[in-house]
Structure 1
Amino acid sequence: MDYKSTAERIIDLRNADLALRDKLIQDGKLGEGYDEEMEKLHNRNAKILSDIIDTIGYPTLNKVGKEASEAAWLVVQHAIGQPDFMKKFAKLLERAVNENEAEPRSLAYLIDRIAVLEGKPQQYGTQFDWDESGKLNPNPYDDLAKVNQRRKDIGLNTLEEQTLLIRRQVENEKQTPPADFEKRKQEVEAWRKKVGWIK
């Protein structure tokens, strides 16, 4: 079966996501909480991708090609308001990785994002956030030596190297830490409860 049009549709979802992200960076709004327009787009994209998965199954490399398969992962990675969808996709992605039909790195990023949203330590140190001193650091992880070994196993650099790269990226994008760290922390907690990540 030919999934060319499906692949194009998934890539369009990703492109809309990245275009809005770029716009928010240009407007200096990316770090100011979860933008309402972005939240709507992420939820809409998740719904469309969920329907696609219900129709064709997981968008593997074999079905839709590398670009669309990675685009599907990005849509899920950003669907933070949809806990059930992200967890369902993570299981499908794990199966695809075991069958060499998806990238292990994608699974690492998704596992970590879900862990952080649930308030658990991450395994690969892929997720970063501002701390109370206004520095960008990895979200809590279990053990640095284990994290670096897991990263190495899937072809990622060390967490120390990645931290420097991430900090440079946000500097280039002119992202700044939240003006009121405590207020933002409380807003994030309230949002996580509202969408169902934590009780």
Structure 2
Amino acid sequence: MRNIKNIRMDYRGISKKIIELKNKDLELRDALIKDGQLGEDYNEEMEKLHNRNAEILNEIIDTIGYPTIDKVGKEASESAWLVIQHSIGQPNFMRKCKKLLEIVVNEKKANPMNLVYLTDRIASFEEKPQLFGTQFDWDENGQLSPKPFDDLTKVNRRRKSIGLNTLEEQTEIMRRRVKNENQSLPTDLEKRKKELKKWKRRVGWTK
């Protein structure tokens, strides 16, 4: 009986730790928004936090497997996904989590929408077309737009099948969001694009 109780206590502690990782992430993001620093280059402090969170979560996953709802609860499971989604400097970790998430989603132990967003995010960083159009960035016209996707009709069909709005509707929502958050257009889009390519090669997204 004591062993079962200890295991339960461990899961509660792990759940709390995962939620703390998510909260630190969002707190820093809010601070950067207030300072008008979100929207330019990948903030150095944020990159360090994302990498550190990924390291801690990876240790947790190696211990308990993917943090499913039945193990850590809904809030912590969603928090784990957000940490994974923001671990953009750790491509191998994100790919590893995608494979694990595919398994637990099939077992109905995690939110399938999380797999949709993670799949698109990885595809975008690998410079492959998105399937659902969930990832956005500034385009050459200075507008926030979906990153490359395969076909608008197919994307909207896929989005509808999982309960999402159309890509056109989501684009308007995203543009209003960055405006409300005072996210400003990067001062030099071409320079940002080149630096992003270098960064993707450096961390291992592309060759």
Range into which the TM-score falls when normalised by the shorter chain: over 0.9
Q: Over residues 152-184 of structure 1, what are the superposed CA-to-partner deviations in whole Å (9 max), with x where a residue is unaligned? A: 222211111111111010000011111111000
Deviations 1:13-56 (A, max 9, x none): 00000000000000000111100000000000000000000111
Which of 180, 183, 191 aligns to 1:183? It is 191
| Equivalent-residue separation in structure 1 for 2:69 and 2:25 (angstroms) | 21
Provide structure 1 residue ranges, at least 5 long, that are not aligned to the other structure: none
Task: Give 1:16's aligned residue.
Answer: 24
| Residue of structure 2 in register with 1:107 after alignment | 115
Q: Does 1:7 align with 2:25?
A: no
For residues 93-150 of structure 1, the C-alpha deviation after alignment (integer angstroms, 9 at most, x for no partner) is 1111101111111001100110010000000100000011110000000011111111
1:140 maps onto 2:148 in alignment: yes
Q: C-alpha separation between the residues in 1 aligned to 2:141 and 2:163? A: 31
Partner in structure 1 of residue 170 of structure 2: 162
SS where residue 183 of structure 2 aligns? coil
Q: Which has the larger radius of gyration?
A: 2
How many equivalent pairs are there?
Answer: 199
Map of 2:69 onto structure 1: 61
Structure 2: segments with no counterpart, 5+ residues: 1-6
Identity of aligned residues (%): 65
Partner residue of 2:130 out of 122, 140, 154? 122
Residues 71-110 of structure 1: CA deviation (Å, up to 9, x unaligned): 0000000000001000000000111110111111100110
Indicate the larger mover: 148-157 or 137-146.
148-157
> Distance in 1 between the 2:104 and 2:133 partners?
22
Q: Does 1:197 find its partner at 2:205? A: yes
Inter-partner Cα distance in structure 2 for 1:153 and 1:173: 30
- For 1:75, the equivalent position in structure 2 comes to 83
Classify the secondary structure of the residue corresponding to 2:73: helix
Say which of 163, 166, 172 aligns to 2:180.
172
Any runs of at least 4 consecutive aligned residues in structure 1 with deviations exceeding 2 A, and if so which? none
Counterpart of 2:81, as a letter, is W
Matching residue within 23, 38, 42 for 1:30: 38
